């Protein structure tokens, strides 16, 4: 059974009406270096309230580092990131704006049931009585079609179900801004499509601003309002999916539609190394 506590009067935090309106994100001249290594160079972009913005790029292009700046886990070397007009690097912003980050690996607690994973944030912040928390948790589980999983441990679930639990856990926070770090990684094509549909549906249902870091071409071109492409720490372009499909920039077409060339010098070098 879910771990429950007796109902108690909500604290002032739970009595205060939570602002659920979507927020804007603005990045101005963002640069970030770790020692001599420059990861981001003069990146500027805006994400509109209620938009699905997907950030793509090769591995090591700085996508996850940029995401960490938005949630305030990294401070810029230069430039500024604001969420709802507030400095993302200021810890107070995380209290003023309701943000939820869905980690690539899910970051679930295997020692807790699915139900208790979802209830943890609400209990820790005393956001309602146990009855109110139960209603929110079960509502989120229903939206993600996880009603039959609430008593299970995350270790008992498939990769796709763990992703859905992580999204449900973010959903109970009633976020104004949802951020996803590679939400379809390590999933089969069918489950990747399911997760993509869930992200798009949640945006429609909750009007939440959504930022997704992903390598998944089908996700980006299928659900994004706009897509930003980072390469070597620089923002190459921001475009709609339709504009990206029509792009004649070879860097974009090569990234979105890579070709396997068995006659390439690199492949021949590998073949030579295998036989030597």
Q: Is 1 inside any structural domain? A: no
pTM of the model: 0.82
- Count up the domains in the chain and report the number: 1
**Distance from C-alpha of 3 to C-alpha of 150, rounded to nearest angstrom:** 11
We report the CATH number of the domain holding residue 202 as 3.40.50.300
Q: Residues 218-252: pLDDT tens digits?
A: 999 999 999 999 999 999 999 999 999 999 898 88
Task: Answer yes or no: is 84 within a domain.
Answer: yes
Residue 117 lies in a domain: yes
Q: Is 70 inside any structural domain?
A: yes
3 in any annotated domain:
no
How, if at all, do strands 52-56 and 226-231 pair?
parallel
On whether residue 16 sits in a domain, the answer given is yes
Task: Report how far Cα 229 is from the mean position of its chain's Cα atoms.
Answer: 16
User: 157-202 pLDDT, tens per residue?
Assistant: 888 888 889 989 888 888 899 999 988 888 888 888 988 998 998 8
> Is residue 205 in a domain?
yes
Q: What is the pLDDT along the chain (276 residues), one digit of tens a residue?
A: 444 444 443 433 333 344 568 889 999 999 999 999 999 999 999 999 999 999 998 888 889 899 999 999 999 999 999 999 999 999 898 888 888 888 776 678 888 899 999 998 888 878 888 888 999 999 889 888 888 888 988 888 888 888 889 989 888 888 899 999 988 888 888 888 988 998 998 888 888 999 999 988 999 999 999 999 999 999 999 999 999 999 989 888 888 887 766 666 665 665 565 555
Distances (CA, A) of 78 to 59, 67, 70, 219: 23, 16, 14, 31
The answer to the question of residue 2 being in a domain is no
Print the domain residue range for 113: 12-275
């Amino acid at each position: 059974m879910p771990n429950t506590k007796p109902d108690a009067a909500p604290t002032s935090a739970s009595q205060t009406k939570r602002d659920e309106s979507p927020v804007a994100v603005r990045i101005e001249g963002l640069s970030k270096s770790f020692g001599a290594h420059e990861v981001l160079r003069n990146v500027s972009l805006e994400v509109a309230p209620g938009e699905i913005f997907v950030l793509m790029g090769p591995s090591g292009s700085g996508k996850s580092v940029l995401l960490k700046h938005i949630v305030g886990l990294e401070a810029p070397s230069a430039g500024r990131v604001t969420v709802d007009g507030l400095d993302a690097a200021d810890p107070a912003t995380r209290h003023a704006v309701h943000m939820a980050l869905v980690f690539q690996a899910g970051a679930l607690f295997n020692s807790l049931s699915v139900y208790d994973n979802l209830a943890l944030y609400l209990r820790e912040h005393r956001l309602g009585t146990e009855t109110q928390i139960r209603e929110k948790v079960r509502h989120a589980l229903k939206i993600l079609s996880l009603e039959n999983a609430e008593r299970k441990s995350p270790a008992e679930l498939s990769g796709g179900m763990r992703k859905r639990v992580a999204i449900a856990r973010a959903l109970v926070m009633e976020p104004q801004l949802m951020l996803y770090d590679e939400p379809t990684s390590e999933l089969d094509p069918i489950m990747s499509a399911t997760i993509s549909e869930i992200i798009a549906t949640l945006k429609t249902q909750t009007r939440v601003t959504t930022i997704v870091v992903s390598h998944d071409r089908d996700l980006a071109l299928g659900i994004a309002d706009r897509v930003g492409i980072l390469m070597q720490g620089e923002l190459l372009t921001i475009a709609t999916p339709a504009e990206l499909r029509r792009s004649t920039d070879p860097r974009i077409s090569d990234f979105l539609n890579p070709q396997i060339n068995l006659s390439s010098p690199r492949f021949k070098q590998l073949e030579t190394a295998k036989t030597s």
